[in-house]
Amino acid sequence: MSCEVKAISPRYTGVHDSDDEVRFLSRAAGAHVVCHDNNLVLKSGQRVRCGEEHAMRLVEQHTNVPVPRIIFSSYLHDGKGEIGMNFIPGCTLGTIWDRLDVRDKERLCHDIWSMISQWRQIIRPPHLAHLYQCLADGSPATPDPLLKDLDDPRRPLYTDEAVRARIHQRYLHYFGRRFADTLPGMLPRSKASVFTHGDIAPRNIMVDQSGHITSIIDWELAGWYPDYWEYANIMKPSMDHDWQSWMDRTATQQ
């Protein structure tokens, strides 16, 4: 599978018609997300890389999980990229979560876990079989703060032990000292790596007016990780305490 670079209309290459309605959906560092005419969403910036496109295409091909449909993509030599996708109507789960009743919260969390179970079954293609952790396109250049390589060129991670060593290396580099000797033994161990979104949170789950999931978005971290990684990232400290509580409660019932 290779990332496709397609010819696109000039209005979506930075030159817009005067009547083109443009609104920002996100202005996070390294990736701006803009909606054109409630029709096309353009994600662009230094954080937009081929792996995100690969992830969405894999999920679309191998699961029933709804993801944005890719219309075009472009990746430049200076590291900048852009992906054009169809507009997903609705809102993020985070905007309506507090208004949902108990039954809807439980139903939604079961739906999320069901989707996670589907993409966990995506098997690494043969040319990536030797890797333990990598992004969806096989790149070792994960932006995950626990695993981002301190060296350049970035080194592949072939085993669970290598993942744990990378985390320990970053801990020491950023002046972690209290658990310098004991941290490797405290880190989880995993016998398998599975396909993982890596950033499941209410902000990355689109829902319609009836509270049903219409799309999972933001796949830039997606790839193969230790089998505990999805759950661990869902439960990391955030402001989504109630959602996390429901996700934890429903996870035990999977």
State the DSSP string of the chain.
---------GGGTT---TT--EEEEE--TT-EEEEETTTEEEEEETT--HHHHHHHHHHHHH-----PPEEEEEE-TTS-EEEEEE---SEEHHHHGGG--HHHHHHHHHHHHHHHHHHTTPPPPGGGTT-SBEETTS-S----TTT--SSSSPPPB-SHHHHHHHHHHHHHHTT--TTTTTHHHHS---S-EEEE-S--SGGGEEE-TTS-EEEE---TT-EEEETTHHHHHHTSS-S-HHHHHHHHHHHTT-
Asked if residue 43 is part of any domain, the answer here is: yes
Q: What is the pLDDT along the chain (254 residues), one digit of tens a residue?
A: 556 444 333 333 443 444 568 787 887 778 899 999 888 999 999 889 999 999 999 999 999 999 999 999 999 877 789 999 999 999 999 999 999 999 999 999 999 999 999 999 999 999 999 999 999 999 987 788 899 999 988 999 999 999 999 999 999 999 999 999 999 999 999 999 999 999 999 999 999 988 999 999 999 999 999 999 999 999 999 999 999 999 999 997 55
The enclosing domain of 197 has a CATH number of: 3.90.1200.10
- What pLDDT does residue 64 have? 98
- Report if pTM > 0.75: yes
Q: Are residues 68 and 123 in the same domain?
A: no
* Predicted local confidence at residue 253, as pLDDT: 59
Would you state the pLDDT for residue 24?
Answer: 78
Same domain, 70 and 122: no
96 in the same domain as 65: no
Q: Which domain holds residue 80?
A: 10-86
Predicted local confidence at residue 13, as pLDDT: 40
Q: What integer pLDDT is reported at residue 72 of this predicted model?
A: 96
Boundary (domain end) residue, out of 39, 59, 86: 86
Number of folded domains that form the chain? 2
pLDDT at 193: 96
